[in-house]
Amino acid sequence: MNFIKNLEWRHATKKFDSSKKVSSENLELIKKAIQLSPSSYGLQLYKVLIIESKALREKLKAASYGQSQITEASHLIVFCNYSVVTEKHIEEYFALKSQIEKVDILDYKGYSEFIKADINNKSQIEKDKWTSNQTYLALGNLLNACAELKIDACPMEGFDAKEYNKILNLDEQGLNSAVIATIGYRSANDSTRYAKKVRKSTESLFELRNL
């Protein structure tokens, strides 16, 4: 499988070549991969910010504990989950579903009400965790797409979410920065590119149960 070879090739790049940029064509492919990511109920309760501006990334670098990837990479990707989930989100989803599937929206009424009830029964903490988890599914697709395109990527949790929210005006949009990733091309001076991949053996990682 080329997929496995691509995963063996990729690593969490720590130092990028700032002179190399991801092409607009490849960026569109990465966006498509993210768009096609699975999500709970298909709602996609998140937004993805693609940040190219060096000036803005300099501000975000300070909120990322000074990590060089933020400014050296071609682009910074910020996955933002909705911190406020409303019934409007569900209604907009079913309006789109009705349009695409060419089915009367009233046919979805029972399912729509079920989803609304399920979400309304969650506490705010549960909603935050639930919507945040969805962004990691999208992040996985980004990493896999980049590996296939031989574009380097580094998923990152080491940042101050509150500062990101402030700098990017996310609170006003009902959004929260959940996880970030930098994409671009590895520098020849990135020592981690030569490190062997360390993973548990499949024997210790997996356990087959038939009962």
Contact 115, 90 (CB under 8 A): yes
Q: In whole angstroms, how far apart are CA 141 and each of 35, 147, 184, 190, 192?
A: 9, 10, 16, 24, 22
- Is 183 inside any structural domain? yes
- Is 193 inside any structural domain? yes
Residue 1 in this model has a pLDDT that exceeds 80: no
- Is 112 inside any structural domain? no
- Block residue for tokens 């500062």: 163
- Is 116 inside any structural domain? no
Contact 69, 182 (CB under 8 A): yes
- Is 67 inside any structural domain? yes
> Residue 87: which pLDDT band, with cuts at 50, 70 and 90?
very high
Q: pLDDT tens across 24-72, in order? A: 999 999 999 999 999 999 999 999 999 999 999 999 999 999 999 999 9
The per-residue pLDDT for 16 is: 97
Residue 191 in this model has a pLDDT that exceeds 90: no
The per-residue pLDDT for 192 is: 84
- Is 82 inside any structural domain? yes
- Is 53 inside any structural domain? yes
Nearest Cα to 21, choosing from 77, 63, 72? 72
Q: pLDDT tens across 161-172, in order? A: 999 999 999 999
Give me the number of domains the chain comprises. 1
Residue 128: count of CB within 10 angstroms of its CB = 18
Residue type, 194: Y
Contact 139, 178 (CB under 8 A): no
- By residue range, what is the domain housing residue 28? 2-87+123-205
Helices of type H across 10-167: 24-35, 54-62, 69-72, 87-101, 109-120, 124-148, 161-167
Residue 82 in this model has a pLDDT that exceeds 90: yes
Residue 183 in this model has a pLDDT that exceeds 90: yes
Q: What is the model's pTM?
A: 0.95
CATH number of the domain to which 128 belongs: 3.40.109.10
Give the list of residues 6+ apart from residue 147 with CB closer than 8 angstroms, or none. Answer: 6, 7, 9, 10, 153
- Is 143 inside any structural domain? yes
